Structure 1
């Protein structure tokens, strides 16, 4: 199976890690050399600094902008240096200003995809349609997507302007998209399904959701399929037949390469349901 993946940048700059321009440059070049050409950003990543880091690294890499596919997001107002309270903003003035700022930071004149980062509680679909249409006609944005929209909101906006995908949180430990029709909707519309945090909270030591039984089963399946835990977790998401495209968020390129081997792994249907039951802690009805 040809790996359809996106390289995530959310962890490039956070409270515990900050890639240097040189490290970011090496990561971009390594991905490019392995034909991993899609990168996922957001205006507010790294407290509104990751886009600039990426832009500097891309310039230093010597890779032509046209050889990569860059997506970014806007719409979340993150509290801190710029905003007093966390909020959502999908007004025309905010989106236009955000896009222009992203283009400046990324040192490019267009975005391959612009995502609306969250479903604004004050969303005005007519204004949003007008804004996105203006960006499309200007050439600043080629395509659009949304993140974590309800099925109703996705349908409402998709009926006004074509959306590539609804980027969602989906993994073995975050499986609600299986039961709220989000995955079914995207599959029915023949849309790609971008998923972030595809490993879920399995490795989160502070999580109460990862049960000991699940760990035991995954360890057993790792031996059965001769695969590491990352590959088992990713293979579980990839078995869902709705054009799953995982966003791989590691900053360790070797780990990214190993994770991609999950595309060569096909879990049996029984094992897939065994993992789901262990994660949920109850049988299916």
Structure 2
């Protein structure tokens, strides 16, 4: 699979990340086949979080790959922390204990990347900085990033955190694309022009922070997938036509739409279906034209001013 640098780091990663949030829906044999199929596609970047399955997803993954030092070196592991029952917690103590739990469940000595999950309103950047320093010095985490954060939230962290923020995992799909579409509605008197995220996409591009789109097939907030959905007839007709022109299917084109953006995004898949994962991986070799990209964008109901 085609690769790229993650943020400002020297870490070479596939352009697609394999999300493991639903791996607990598979039995052991199915999980083994799924992870094996991902590796065969060159999709060796696996995204986790300590809350997925209450931690069981990380354990299931480690069992599925028969984790060992030789297996570990063949993959890139990312996990997230900071969400607790009824609260968010970016305290030094919680970050450190969370990482220890993640490493134990994944049966590894280190994470390639640790992301802070949902923003903590009570964050004290000095505590985050202390935690990151300890984790880096101990060799437990090699790179750091965030998830669902605005430019000012990242800037506040960077005031104290010395490690580069290499990634920001954000909700983004063809139908949930306001961080893109507001960019061509600047100074317009319409709802699409409202800037609710502080131009997070531009900020990430300016600071070489890799955007990792999550839920790349979802519309709304986990309301369902848009592919094959009768609520999006024009979009699906357009995806099907563009897909036919490229000899792939609409799943591939939906990911290719994200990869076509010059921000060099790294979409995070969520499927546990091997066939669909393979369709997603094919997007790494599809280059949409400017005309195709805008046509798909318009078909999703995004009007150009």
Question: What is aligned with 2:247?
Answer: 226
The farther-off stretch of 115-124 and 259-268 is: 259-268
Number of matched pairs: 272
1:282 is displaced (CA, Å) by 4.9
The TM-score, its normalising length taken from structure 2, stands at 0.81
Distance 2:38 2:232 in 1: 34
**CA apart distance, 1:158:** 3.3
Partners in 1 of 2:247 and 2:201 — Cα distance? 29
CA distance in 1, matches of 2:295, 2:62: 44
TM-fit CA distance, 1:243:
1.3
Find the residue that maps to 1:241 and give its secondary structure: coil
Query: Is this contact kept in 2: 1:74–1:117, CA < 8 A?
Result: yes
* Superposed structure 1 runs of 4+ greater than 6 Å apart: none
**Matched residues in 2 for 1:123 and 1:60: separation?**
34
CA distance in 2: counterparts of 1:282 and 1:23, whole angstroms: 39
TM-score (norm 1): 0.87
What is the aligned partner in structure 2 of residue 9 from structure 1?
A: 20
Where structure 1 has 5 or more consecutive residues not aligned to the other structure, the ranges are 78-82
**Pairwise CA RMSD:** 2.4
Q: CA deviation at 1:215?
A: 2.3
Q: Does 1:273 align with 2:284?
A: no
Matched, 1:156 2:160: no
Indicate which of 255, 268, 284 corresponds to 1:247: 268
2:186 aligned partner? none
Q: 5+ unaligned residues in a row in structure 2: which ranges? A: 4-14, 183-196
**Do the aligned residues in 2 keep the contact of 1:171 with 1:198 (CA within 8 Å)?**
yes
Name the structure 2 match of 1:80: none
Q: Distance in 1 between matches of 2:230 and 2:48?
A: 28
Determine whether 1:284 maps to 2:304: yes
User: Relative to structure 2, which stretch is displaced further, 212-221 or 53-62?
Assistant: 53-62
d(CA) in 2 for partners of 1:60 and 1:19?
Answer: 18
Residue aligning to 2:65: 58
Q: Secondary structure at the match of 2:66?
A: helix
The answer to which of 212-221 and 128-137 deviates more is 212-221
